[in-house]
Amino acid sequence: MQKMTKKTSALTFDPTCKPKGMKRLVLAWQNSLKALLWVVRNEAAFRQELVVLFASLIVLSVWRIPLLEKALLLSSVLFVLFAEIINTALEVTIDRIGREVHPLSGLAKDLGSAGVLLAMVVASVLWLTIIVSTTGSEEFQEYNLLKETSDRDK
């Protein structure tokens, strides 16, 4: 984890003075963009997953599959990025609480990492399922015909 360059202030959060309306939306966008830039600069795993996202966008732009399947595949890659951001937020929070080694801190970080792994498994299953179903459609049709025939013979 990279250290933050700005010093923390002694100010406390006052939930009664939250911005409202359009100002809240603008500030939310600014904070989100600031966070995305931070994670790109400081997290190698996120940068690797961005490469996968860009590669996926290229593949999906030329691959002739239904729009719904493209959306599903793109969403699966974006879900991995989402999981990585949540994992990073968890790690940063644990580091903010304390740098000392503690079994619960390690467990929290490991659980966040497991969440990223599960997101990657989901994305992989979706990609492999659609790849196999589109490239091997004749084989699937033959298999289904054979299965239907054997089911009828029973």
Query: Binding site residues, as ranges?
Result: 24, 43, 45-49, 84, 91, 100-102, 109-110, 113
84 is catalytic: yes
Please give the backbone phi and psi of residue 45, each rounded to the nearest 5 degrees, phi first: -60, -40
Per-residue burial over 3-24, b if 16 or more Cβ lie within 10 Å, else e, is eeeeeeeeeeeeeeeeeeeeee
Q: How far is CA 146 from CA 7, 20, 36, 139, 154, in A?
A: 69, 63, 51, 10, 13
Instruction: Enumerate the known binding-site residues for ATP.
Output: 24, 43, 91, 100-102, 109-110
- List the catalytic residue out of 84, 138, 139, 142: 84
Please provide the DSSP assignment of 46-110 as one string: HHHHHHHHHHHHHHHHH----HHHHHHHHHHHHHHHHHHHHHHHHHHHHHHH--S--HHHHHHHH
- What are the residue numbers of the active site? 84
